Amino acid sequence: MSSLTGDDLLWNWCRWSWSGTCVGNMAIHYDEDVDPRPINFDHAMAVEAMHAALPWHERMIVIAEYTQKNNMFAGMDAKTRIRAALRWIETTTEIRLTEGEYKIYLGMFRNQVERRLA
């Protein structure tokens, strides 16, 4: 039985996402000293495929909570981050979500990742 949680698997995916060369004016926003665990590439690629299959607004929720949490949403508590992400999602997609829907979509994806990979 694996001790990995959906959250562990999603942070592994983030480390994989951040491990490449920065493009253009992108700022480096990941420090390997913060989380020195090795990247499990098989898990990361599986999460990437699952993430890519989501509707755009649901992908943006995962982005806000993981790959951009410490960059675009740095220094925000959970409630403030959710509100900012909801505005970002609505501005980008014209889809207005509630905080409850945001949390449900995030939890469903995290659970799906855990069930499939842990």
* Nearest in space to 51 (alpha carbons), one of 61, 59, 63: 59
Residues with Cβ within 8 Å of residue 23, at least 6 apart in sequence: none
Residues 47-90 have pLDDT tens digits of: 999 999 999 999 999 999 999 998 899 999 999 999 999 999 99
CA distance 62 to 59: 5
Residues 3-56 have pLDDT tens digits of: 899 999 999 999 998 886 655 555 555 555 566 788 999 999 999 999 999 999
Q: Residue 2: which pLDDT band, with cuts at 50, 70 and 90? A: low
pLDDT for residue 110: 98
Rounded mean pLDDT, 88-116? 98
